[in-house]
Amino acid sequence: MSLIIRGNFDFLPEVDLQYFLDNAVEIHTENWKKWDNETFQDGIHVFTGYYLTLENIKLASGTLVFIGHHINFWFGNDITAAAGDTSGTYPAVIFTNPAQNFDAYSLNGDESITGAIYCKGNITLRNGHFSGPIMGKNVSLHNNFSLKDTENADRYRWTKGFGNRDSYDWPKQIRRWKTRRWHKKINI
């Protein structure tokens, strides 16, 4: 098994939460809620609660924004961000709470997220299909996922909902990737 860890990012862009609230098609305020085998309406969905689970949900054209923590994705969610325009593209999934980590793991490898994933905490991609870009404090990549970045080059433009590009002091220093490899030993 091979694990690649993208070191601690000292800088992450700031989410313009008001942009997503103003443009939301639905604001979900529940705590301790599970959405199972549901198709969400196209558009931006903001979730303000804690202890939420999304299992086997579909969003054909939109963004999921989570303000709380203890958010779990299980068993084959299929999320596609809305298509962008010349001013930028839309993100697919945003976690604004620094106490929230995102672990994308599906037993069948059928987790699919097309569009940017942003998390104030850590991101671990274990199983599934992702287009990127992927932004988190630490990002861990495992063997059993596919990054479909070349097939989705349009997703690598400025992402709406993060203010103006010229508001940031570019370029920021990006550190090197660290790679750790574990090899199975054969005992005779």
Residue 78 lies in a domain: yes
Question: Looking at residue 89, what DSSP letter applies?
Answer: B
Task: Return d(Cα 133, Cα 153) in angstroms, integer.
Answer: 10
Handedness of CA 116, 118, 25, 17 (dihedral sign): negative
Task: Return d(Cα 44, Cα 186) in angstroms, integer.
Answer: 50
Question: Looking at residue 22, what DSSP letter applies?
Answer: H
Residue 152 lies in a domain: yes
Residue 102 lies in a domain: yes
Per-position b or e across 108-126, b if 16+ CB within 10 A of its CB: eeebbbbbbbbbbbbbbbb
Residue 113 lies in a domain: yes
Pairing of strands 134-136, 116-119: parallel
Residue 186 lies in a domain: no
Task: Return d(Cα 186, Cα 75) in angstroms, integer.
Answer: 33
Task: Return d(Cα 26, Cα 76) in angstroms, integer.
Answer: 22
What is the structure's pLDDT at 176? 47
For each of the chain's 188 residues, which pLDDT tens digit applies? Answer: 444 555 566 677 889 999 999 999 999 999 999 999 999 999 999 999 999 999 999 999 999 999 999 999 988 899 999 987 777 789 999 999 999 999 887 666 688 999 999 999 999 888 888 888 888 888 887 767 777 777 777 777 767 787 776 766 644 444 444 555 555 556 65
- What is the domain extent for residue 157? 2-181
Residue 188 lies in a domain: no
Indicate the number of domains in the chain: 1
**Cβ pair 40, 59 in contact under 8 A:** yes
pTM reported for the whole predicted model: 0.83
**Cβ pair 114, 89 in contact under 8 A:** no
- Whether the link from the prior residue into 171 is cis, omega within 30° of 0, is yes
* 53-to-87, 115, 139, 178 alpha-carbon distances in Å: 33, 20, 21, 31
What is the structure's pLDDT at 181? 55
Residue 139 lies in a domain: yes
Phi, psi of 8 (to 5 degrees): -60, 115
Task: Return d(Cα 53, Cα 38) in angstroms, integer.
Answer: 12
Largest Cα separation within the chain, whole Å, is 64
What is the structure's pLDDT at 172? 47
Residue 77 lies in a domain: yes
Give the end-to-end CA distance of the chain in Å, rounded to a whole number: 21
